[in-house]
Structure 1
């Protein structure tokens, strides 16, 4: 089951995904062993140690076995300590920060670096702004803004995460990375994409009415294709990007989509050089 568990996730598209999936595989294997052991023991006793149909007598006066008591107390304790240590080491390497931790740290956070042993030079630096309900990515190198995140494969990505309003969650399932973003904090966050393709960025925190529409594509491509895209985007004049939340809100205001619940006016559509 430990090996099978790797197939339950999207393809490993980042170096961090390898760390995460290895930990999950260990947890699955141990959990399966415990589940089958307990289930088989219960099933065996139900089948072979049942009392007779009309037997209402008490069982034998067994006082217990000290060795067994120690065994089934110490063994689970060691397993839990071992899993806790493995989990701590994995998340320490990924260096992800929780919202509570961020709230009590300085305004600029230290970078989250996954100690995967993979050489990741040079580094791609991108600024990420999250707001109700859109993601905006800025590439300072070319002064390009986009609603689609582009990354070169096998190069470390360094993101500066910011929120303009409420708590958001930067979550890419294929990368196994999720970082909470809270207002008034700039979080330096790093990961390494290792597989070319198109993936999905989602908001993992409930940020209001239209938070389900707060998604964006993540395109991992070769360094050559990345440079080509960046240069082409730099030549385009910024225009308002399509915004699903704003479109749905406009329909509501025009009474095309009647609803009685309260909502928040979506932030204005971002002005970007590139949108899909």
Structure 2
């Protein structure tokens, strides 16, 4: 005597089809995660690897959910459509405790996984050092070095003499330990560089896409920051915070070069005379005044800094 499979139990082919669909979804999501590395700018710092891997994890999870939901909707449209003149409502699913637990726990696990990975990446980077509030405007910041030195805990003697990074409307200025002033940032390849960030007017964003790093510059604060460039080249530094009418012109280059080339550049730069840096915002504002100062009200740009080396706005950059 043979027994028949109860009509309510899942059929073997249905289970096999569901398993194949999940495996295909997983394979497509892994492929998307691998491809996501090519979507990002050229990696040029030690932070790029962990950040790119975190991005790939988020792309993989998002792809798995997207392909899964899209597949269910496509299957429903093709094989489970209602008849042409069927206006009945679908079966109610209220009170399905198992389904409610599933759609609560699964997003919770996903969010906690991403948060755990993001915290681990943040600990790995360890880019942010001390921060000291300074009163008396930007002039008072130069007297705060002793206070912020106590906040910075590191065995690297280079941290005691960081590169000063000054953001203003609308230009960047970099002051090196040997006294060189420049409007483009030069860093040695493969070595940790220490920066001291400050802003003279409003909040600016120190953002180098190729480094995968971003840090806000807060007026009245000195913020210690560090990074390790790993690839020689010329990369773009952008102001990531809206700081007024000409903030899009507040860009410059970061030049990463071998340590010996960097030392030679510092010596050669110090022999150059100080001169106003090339500044696109100043030029744009002059054009505005020549047209009668019409249009939206805007803040006049701060005078360009006096530098030994000025950034070349026509230079090609890698990323």
Instruction: Provide the TM-score with structure 1 as the length reference.
Output: 0.86
CA distance in 2, matches of 1:58, 1:248: 62
SS at match of 1:3: helix
Higher helix share: 2
Residue 122 to residue 74, structure 1, CA distance change in 2 (3 Å): same
CA distance in 1, matches of 2:229, 2:153: 14
Residue 92 to residue 111, structure 1, CA distance change in 2 (3 Å): farther
Counterpart in 2 of 1:262? 297
1:23 has 2:54 as partner: yes
1:139 has 2:170 as partner: no
SS at match of 1:15: coil
Instruction: Provide the TM-score with structure 2 as the length reference.
Output: 0.75
Partner residue of 1:129 out of 126, 151, 166: 166
Partner residue of 2:203 out of 164, 167, 172: 167
CA distance in 2, matches of 1:262, 1:63: 57
8 A contact 1:126–1:158 mirrored in 2: yes
Partner residue of 1:72 out of 90, 103, 106: 103
Return 5+ residue gaps in structure 1 as ranges. Answer: 114-119
Residue 272 to residue 248, structure 1, CA distance change in 2 (3 Å): same
Residue 130 to residue 62, structure 1, CA distance change in 2 (3 Å): closer
Specify the structure having the higher radius of gyration (Cα): 2
Counterpart in 2 of 1:180? 216
Residue 208 to residue 58, structure 1, CA distance change in 2 (3 Å): closer
CA distance in 2, matches of 1:2, 1:83: 14
CA distance in 2, matches of 1:112, 1:94: 16
CA distance in 1, matches of 2:93, 2:303: 74
Aligned pair count reads: 262
CA distance in 1, matches of 2:48, 2:36: 13
1:12 has 2:48 as partner: no
CA distance in 2, matches of 1:267, 1:73: 53
Counterpart in 1 of 2:24? none
Counterpart in 2 of 1:35? 66
SS at match of 1:2: helix
CA RMSD of aligned residues (A): 2.6
SS at match of 1:249: helix
8 A contact 2:211–2:229 mirrored in 1: yes
